Amino acid sequence: MRLAYAPYILKFKSPAGTSRGILTEKPTFFIKIFEDNDPSRFGIGECSVFPGLSPEADGNYGYKLIELLANVALGVETDLSGYSSILFGLEQALRDFAGGCQHIYFPSSFTQGKSSIEINGLVWMGDLDQMIERIDEKVALGFHCIKLKIGAIDWKKEVEMIEYVRRKYSDSVLQIRVDANGGFSMDNTLPRLKRLADLGVHSIEQPIPAGMPELMAFLCQVSPLKIALDESLIGIHDREKKENLLDLVHPAYLILKPSLCGGFSGAEEWIKLAEERGIGWWVTSALESNVGLNALAQWTATLGTSMPQGLGTGALFTNNFECPLSLESDRLKYDPSKPITNEEFSTLDWRY
């Protein structure tokens, strides 16, 4: 068995405002698994690294891919415990290859086109008028749950925006999730959580930065608003450390991004530990291309959850790949008649 990898730069259709600045492009890597006697038949995966968020996004990343390439050829296992995004891509490629190289990673009624996944509508950061306009667009499209990225504009204006939403849409019509990306401080967190709860917000992701588990545990105990952990999960791969975090903090929810929290296997361990403790969860994409998003959606469809998931739709990039995923209202669907084809990857700069 052999492995090859190819770097790729995803280009945003328009600048995307995030808590880590304005993005116009995002790097990613594709890997393929194949046999020497038939290189045209391969399993594909995406190593969706996220600079500024993925701990492994440093100068050693390329060397780790080279190490993996060599070890696969030698039949030697590679330690990927600190490389969630590479493990995420490798798990995809191996599953695809084992399943016949049809890009069916997790067969289910979803990949047969017989079921769908409810998702939330993500409202990107912008000024007040932009965000209100985007919220109205999501509701008009049929979304019943939206996720607002907060922290980009003045807090008073963000409250004004949520007040507008609540005047127009009751909580029985529209569920509001917010993501602070660790943007609150010790001085303002509790009053802000109280204000958001009063406005009928469903939950908040990561109100304070990761790395302060004792303070997060205190907030989870006293907050009138349900708190979800996101960045706090990144970089924790040891089962005992996962258990210790959940037992200490006991959040209401976990936000699972396999490319950032140990691939599919690592995310499944988080789910098992969370459910044992009565902690809820949902899956969120992390700016993958349609290759990674396709695998992520297929995996999510097998998990048996009825909550709206935080999956993207692949519409952000100008140079994305054809994909069997489509959106109808707030339901993500898979069309078996429109599979990703290997021809799409023939022009990539493969390294062997």
Assess whether pLDDT exceeds 80 at residue 20. Answer: no
**Could you tell me the pTM of the whole model?**
0.95
Assess whether pLDDT exceeds 90 at residue 313. Answer: no
In this prediction, residue 253 has a pLDDT band, given cuts at 50, 70 and 90, of very high
The more confident residue out of 152 and 296 is: 296
Assess whether pLDDT exceeds 80 at residue 348. Answer: yes
Identity at 195, one-letter amino acid code: R
Parallel, antiparallel, or unpaired: how do β-strands 21-35 and 38-47 relate?
antiparallel
State the pLDDT at residue 56. Answer: 94
State the pLDDT at residue 130. Answer: 86
Assess whether pLDDT exceeds 70 at residue 18. Answer: no
The more confident residue out of 123 and 310 is: 310
Assess whether pLDDT exceeds 70 at residue 19. Answer: no
The one catalytic residue among 32, 147, 242, 257: 257
The reply to whether 2-102 and 117-334 are identical in fold is: no
Regarding the domain delimited by 117-334, which CATH topology (the fold level of the hierarchy) does it fall under? Answer: TIM Barrel (3.20.20)
The one catalytic residue among 11, 149, 156, 241: 149
**Is 272 in the active site?**
no
State the pLDDT at residue 147. Answer: 96
Assess whether pLDDT exceeds 90 at residue 127. Answer: no
**Is 226 in the active site?**
no
Domain boundaries, the chain: 2-102, 117-334
- Range 153-179 average pLDDT: 92
State the pLDDT at residue 265. Answer: 98
- Give DSSP secondary structure letters for 225-290: SEEEESGGGTT---HHHHHHHHHHH--SEEEE-TTTTTHHHHHHHHHHHHHHTT-EEEEB--S--H
- Range 71-80 average pLDDT: 96
Residue 165, class by beta-carbon neighbours within 10 Å (0-12 exposed, 13-18 middle, 19+ buried)? Answer: buried
Identity at 338, one-letter amino acid code: K
Assess whether pLDDT exceeds 70 at residue 17. Answer: no
Assess whether pLDDT exceeds 80 at residue 62. Answer: yes
Regarding the domain delimited by 2-102, which CATH topology (the fold level of the hierarchy) does it fall under? Answer: Enolase-like; domain 1 (3.30.390)
Task: Give the helix/strand (H/E) hosting 332.
Answer: strand 331-334
